[in-house]
Chains A and B, each alone.
Chain A
């Protein structure tokens, strides 16, 4: 299994540009999510999905869109990039079972810089 993969690893955008961060998992996990990591702030949840066709907002959803057309893929779209979106983005997935949920597996991250 490749686990959770993310592309690209690095990206530089200009303010106002749009782009899609790709995330895929081959573990047949129902649950997928996107976080951003900023220095001194830990990880903050952007959007999540509990299954194909079902998405919802997390703590910091503004400026981002998601869709989940398949179990495997969960792309994150930046509609009009802003310098405040400079961050490291992590995708995670897990089975949805039990009260506490299962272990979440994280991708290697995408480092995004918006100029």
Chain B
């Protein structure tokens, strides 16, 4: 089964510092990986995706993610965190044989302090 895991429930970082939100995956075949962000009382917003090609994927709001096949990871990164980045972040993987459905991780709450 296609699945992702987010090992951290919460990540705390000071504004201006680099941030990393971790995600590991378990898939058979080629993984199609996504990052979404959820602000309080809002729906999910797409940040970036990895389908194929370059291992470093750039997305919205200055975020990027590095696909690492040997470590089966797809960590989300940003060089300099903003207070407004505080939100709930979800890693997801496309599910085989379910249209374009996604399996989501449990989410990581990011808190950026001034």
Contacts and interface: CB of A to CB of B under 8 A. Distances in A.
Interface of A: 4, 31, 33, 35, 40-45, 48-50, 56, 58-59, 90, 92, 94, 96, 98-109
23 contacts: A4-B43, A33-B99, A33-B101, A40-B106, A42-B90, A43-B44, A43-B90, A43-B102, A44-B104, A48-B100, A48-B101, A58-B101, A90-B43, A90-B44, A99-B30, A100-B51, A100-B52, A103-B49, A104-B100, A106-B36, A108-B42, A109-B41, A109-B42
Q: How extensive is the interface on chain B, given as a class?
A: 20 to 34
Contact of B94 (A50, A100, A108): A100
Contact of A58 (B9, B36, B98): B98
Interface in B36-68: 36, 41-46, 49, 51-52
A92 B94 CA distance: 14
Contact of A106 (B44, B98, B106): B44
A104 B98 CA distance: 14
A4 B46 CA distance: 14
A69 to B, nearest CB: 18
Contacts of A94: 100
Given A31-B100, A33-B99, A45-B101, A98 B46 contact: no
Contact of B45 (A45, A50, A98, A106): A106
Contacts of A96: 99-100
Given A90-B44, A100-B94, A101-B94, 17 more contacts: A33-B100, A40-B9, A42-B106, A42-B107, A43-B90, A45-B98, A45-B103, A48-B99, A90-B43, A94-B100, A96-B99, A99-B52, A101-B32, A101-B99, A105-B46, A108-B43, A109-B43
Contact of A101 (B42, B100, B103): B100
Contacts of A105: 46
B32 A100 contact: yes
A62 B52 CA distance: 35
Nearest to A38: B106
Contacts of A98: 51
